[in-house]
Every structure is written in C-alpha cells, then in structure tokens.
Structure 1
C-alpha cells in the first residue's frame, strides 16, 4: 500500500501542475467572420480598400480573426446590410448610412456632409472625429442595434463631368446634371444647373440619352461606370467628398467573441489604416484614370467665379444640415451641426497643412484625437 507520505507527494505534484496550467494564458479561439457587402467584388473600394484592411486584421491577430468575403449583393444588398448584420445573416459588413435615416437619425447625418469636405484625408479625419468623439447619440444608436463600427470612410473629391467641353461656371449654367445625393443637388442649384436625381447605375444612360448633360462623381468613376466615350469635359476643382459609408461594422456578438487583446489590435490598425484606405482605393486610382484619359478628355481647373460660388454654397450647407437634422428629430441639432462644421474646418484649415503628404503625422493625429477615445 502506498504510504500517506507518497500519496501527499503525488497530490501536491498534481495540484502544482493544475495551478501552473491555470496560470497560463489560454489563446483565444480562432474564428472566421462572414463579411457581406453589396459592393461589386472588382471595385477599387473592395480590392484596394476593404479587402487589404481585412487582411491586416487577420495578420495583426495572428490569424485568430479571419474573414469569408461574400460581396456583390450575394447575401446582403446596399439597402439591407444593417439588418443583415443585426439579424446575424452576416457577422460584419459594409453599409452606407444614408439608407437608414429612420433607424439612425443621428448617424445618417454623417452621410450628408459631402459639401463640407474638399480634401479626402482631411475629410476622413473629420468624419471619424465627428462620429467617434463628437456625436455620442450616433454611437448610442449603433449600440442600441447591436452594431460595432470600426471606421467611417471618405472617398476622393467629386469633379464635374460633362458630355461637352466645360471650363468655367458660366459653361455650366442651364445644364442638367445627374446627382446622387442632396448635397450635390444643392451645389448644382447654386451653379444655376438643373439637378436630376439619378441612381449610380443609371448615370451612363442618362448622359447618353440626353436626360442630363453632366454628373458629379469621382474621377475614377469615369472608368468604373464606363463613361470614357461619353464624358468630354471635366472641371477638376474639388466639389465635395462623399461621406457616410461604414466599411467595417461588426455585430456586437462577433465583436464580443474577439479577445480584448485582439480588439485593441484591430482598433490600433485604424489610424494608419484610414490613410491607406483612402489613398489606395481612391486617390491613387483617380490619378491613374486621369493619366490614362489625358488627351482624350479635356480636364480644366475651374475659374475663380466657381470657387467663389463654392464658398457661398458651403455657407448654405450649414443651414441645410441644421434643417435636415431637425426634420429627423435630432435634439440639439444646431449645436451638433455647429460642432461638426468646426471639426471639418479644423481638419481642412489647421491640421491639413501639418500632415499633408505625411502618413505618420496623420496617423498620430488620428490616434490622439479619435482612436484613443474609441468606446465600443
């Protein structure tokens, strides 16, 4: 029979081994999240924007968080992605806030700020500060629906693209223009043009059939939407930056299933990731398309009269945004819009001269002003 001494020794060794095992950090279980989007797979926004960001997340989490990408409307469309994430059809996805003004009366205002931005990097910074810092009600809306946003994106500046050569504001007066959003329509009105609300996919036939003479979209869209043989003149003066898209929104179930360490790693990617996203998916692609079309399409900078009208338009946007916010039942609408307008002014006038062309300075500013305060 084993002695009590021997039994105690064995028991002690077993207890010691158990305590050592308990003290070891247990790695988080790896998980693959379903990413859904209505955006076509071939789009630059996917190939050079969101897909590389997903890959960086997988790398930063040592493959503990990876993604199955089901895009192009196969699981969720542009108009129902919010519901798809909320209801568990996908774990994460890309959605545009303008589609959800009823569910997100505060957050959807982020999609109405096109007229406040002219620089894509400054707009990216301003948008994320407006949402993640200034608009607590926006974040409460997301929490109430069980949604966790990682970032908001801007795109490249809008340019005036017409079926005839154009160079000045006088050339545009009286022309019909296909517009996608309300801010673009208001700008067209200031120019003396007639706005025609048009879906993105209908811009080309509208121009070809003479239903409109111009459109206001990013330069790279000339190639993306097959406008190369239809557009003859482009005024390159930046005329707003489309806002309001949330490229990476997770369900709170998916987010809470990620370890705290990995959640911090994901948030830590955002300051640099924002720069890479807008540069690779929009700025560089615009430049490539513009270079390819040099000599085929007339590119003009715009005249002083057009720049003066832009200043007038931006002042009017503040009033329009306040009215829209009140219509949506936003409490403290005037104060919130004033704060957002000041954030956009600061990013364009104060911060942009400091970080222009410098990814590291931009990222440092994003960490300080935005993502050090991330509260999801």
Structure 2
C-alpha cells in the first residue's frame, strides 16, 4: 500500500472511530411523566428532549416515558431512587417532604387577585415567579429536594383551575353538599369553605369518578379535559372559581445523575428546562378557549359564578394565605411561612409586568432563561 492510500485509510478509520466513540459517549436520560401520551404536557416534554439533544450536540439525549415508568404518586420516590433520571414531581402530593416548597405552591390562588393584567396569563406569571422564588429566594426548598436526592431545575404548570362537572354550578348554594375531586390542599380548604366535600384521588381515576357520579365536579384546568380524556363525561363547566394553577417541579433530576454531568451539560439541562417551564403554560393558554368552545359545541353548559360567589372566593384567598403560614408552621415546622408568602407575592407582581409583551412560546422561554435559569450557578446548585 503506498503512502497516499495509507493516509486515506487512516483518515477514514479516524473519522469512523470518532463517530463510533461519539455515539458511545452519548448518554440517554430517562424522563418519567405521569401524563397520558396524548396530553399537551407530553408534547412539551418531547420539545424538552429535543432541546437537550440540540443544545448538547447529541452528547445528551432524553427518552420520555409518559404514564409508564412511574405514575404521579411514584415519581418523587422513583427519581430519588434512580428509577428515572428526570421526573415530573408534583410536590403537593408530598407535603411532609416538601413543606417550604409547598407554601408557595399552595398560594397558587393568589393569581386570582392580580387583576385584569393577569387574565389569560396566569400560568406564565405563576411559573416564572415560582421558578425564580425556588432557585433564589428559598434555600430551604432546595434543601428539601436535596434530602430526596433530587435537584430542582424549574417549575411549570398550566392555566387556572375551575370546576369541571356533571352538574351546574353558579352559586355557593349549588356547591353545598357536592363532592369535589381536588388535587391540592388549597382547593380542599376552598371546597370546605363553600360547603362542599373535598375528595382526594389520583388524576388517573378522574374519568371513572365523574362518569359514575362518585364526584360531581373536578377542580381542574380546562385543557386537562383533553389531557385526561374527560370529554364524554363532562356536562357543565364553570372556570370562574376557585382559580389558581397547579404548579409542578417539572424536570427534577436525580442528584447522582446531576453530579455526573459536566457544568456545560448542566447548563444544557437548565436551558431545556426553561423551554419546558415556558412551554406548558403557553400551550395551556393557547388551548384554553378552544377546549371550552369545543365543549360548548358538544352541548356542554358553560356557567359563570354569581357576584356573591366571586366575592366569597376573593375573601377566601386572602384568609387562606394566613392559614397556609400557620398550618405549615404547626404541622411541618416552617417558621418563615409569612415571609415566604410576602416574598412570593412580590414576585407575582413582578412577573405580571414582565409577561405583558410576551407574544410567543419562544419569547416566554427566552424571558425565563434571561431572567432566571441563566443565572443559576451550575458549579454550586444541587451539589
């Protein structure tokens, strides 16, 4: 073989070996999410996975496991134990594990007091405020995640919750004696305040409960009617009360997985997390009106709360902030609940102003990245 041919062969071998080595070095992370495969949230989870691969130039990949690897109730423990590298963690399901985090999570109904500027932007406001709060204003929150062998990388969630029912609701009297499925403690307290009975069950059990009359209403965001396949069992909807989104630590990472990433790769995960945090509220807000319009076309009755119920709702929200602070102090030893809520309310006001000019999902993700995620010190966070 002459020198020219040998050099050519060597070059080919070098390129081939490099390609094989790169493929071998690529790491795939398992992402557990309790939503069904057809849900809007899983669509955004796929965008998250694509962003990780693009931003890492293929060195990192994410495989999304919708409603298969772990359900909602199993996800926190599964991420802790390494059954998944990343998980969609509903901290409200685990009040004793995440008490400081849940002080802000349970304050979600505060968006109902922000006025007209917040209308139609509640999810965008809340997820920006909660992400900033958790990263930078609540060291106790991050310690809670650390105790569960998890690293927090941002919050997400959809639009404000209303009443998705098989009976009409317009007044407080209509709610008396009703059984309402609730997914968090704040809505449970609200149910009791209006004379209803709160019922706790997995989100995966909602269809059967509503179809069989086990509950009269589910406290839920309207796009979840699609996500959880409730279309055929909903006859009446009132989105005026109680309000507030359901925030989630959407992309928590197993602490050992996080420590095994380079700082550059951690930045990639945060960039992707900013896309995910923005994507869920954005897509929910885009589908909110469409879901309600389609429901109306199918004959579902769209109701509105009367003035007395609206006022009752607002008064409850204010009173409940004091209750949250006192309750978490008594039950979980959270000594600074009032201060945390005050800090969080200020952030809600800040984010109400910040999202006013947001006109696209990309713009929201860029805003989250610029204002929050890019400021996280990956050489310290979660370590």
Please confirm whether the aligned pair reaches a TM-score higher than 0.5, indicating the same fold: yes
- Work out whether 1:107 is the aligned partner of 2:101: yes
Q: TM-score, normalised by structure 1?
A: 0.80
Deviations 1:29-55 (A, max 9, x none): 421122233333333211x22121111
**Structure 1 residue corresponding to 2:345, chosen from 341, 345, 367:** 341
Q: 2: CA distance between counterparts of 1:150 and 1:135?
A: 14
Residue aligned with 2:206, SS: helix
Distance in 2 (CA, whole Å) between partners of 1:273 and 1:94 is 11
Partner deviation per Cα, 1:338-360 (whole Å, 9 max, x = no partner): 22233234434x444x3354656
CA contact (8 A) 1:65 1:258 kept: no
Q: How big is the shift at 1:128? A: 0.7
Matched, 1:288 2:256: no
TM-score by length of 2: 0.79
In structure 2, what is the equivalent of residue 247 of structure 1? 250
Sort the Cα spacing of 1:89 and 1:179 in 2 relative to 1 into closer, same or farther, 3 A. Answer: closer
d(CA) in 1 for partners of 2:97 and 2:177? 37
Contact 2:241 2:305 in 1 (8 A): no
How far did 1:144 drift? 4.1
Counterpart contact for 1:154–1:241, Cα < 8 Å: no
The corresponding residue for 1:310 is 313
> Compared with structure 1, are the counterparts of its residues 359 and 200 closer, same or farther at alpha carbon in structure 2 (3 Å cutoff)?
closer
Q: What SS does the corresponding residue of 2:73 show, helix, strand or coil? A: coil
Asked whether the 8 Å contact 2:165–2:235 carries over to 1, the reply is: yes
Mapped pair 1:93 → 2:87:
yes
Report the aligned-residue RMSD.
2.9
Residue 57 of structure 1 corresponds to 52
The answer on whether the counterparts of 1:49 and 1:278 sit within 8 Å (CA) in structure 2 is no
User: In terms of Rg, which structure is larger?
Assistant: 1
Q: Does structure 1 residue 216 correspond to structure 2 residue 210?
A: no
Deviates most, 197-206 or 49-58: 197-206
2:67 matched residue in structure 1: 72
For residues 362 and 223 of structure 1, what CA distance do their matches in structure 2 show? 24
Distance 1:220 1:32 in 2: 30
Match of 1:5 in 2: none
Shift of 1:298: 1.5
1:177-256 → structure 2 map (5 Å cutoff) = 177-237=180-240, 239-256=242-259
| Alpha-carbon distance in 2 for matches of 1:360, 1:206 | 38
Q: Residues 45 and 276 of structure 2 are in contact (CA less than 8 Å); yes or no, is this contact kept in structure 1?
A: no
Structure 1's 98 and 32: CA in aligned 2 closer, same or farther, altered over 3 A? same
Cα 1:102–1:40 shift into 2, 3 Å: same
Q: What's 2:115 paired with?
A: none
Check the 8 A contact 1:96/1:111 in 2, yes or no. no
Q: CA deviation at 1:328?
A: 0.9
Contact 1:159 1:238 survives alignment (8 Å)? yes
Provide, for residues 104-150 of structure 1, a one-character-per-residue CA deviation record: whole Å limited to 9, x for no partner. Answer: 33234344233223511111111112211211111122234442222
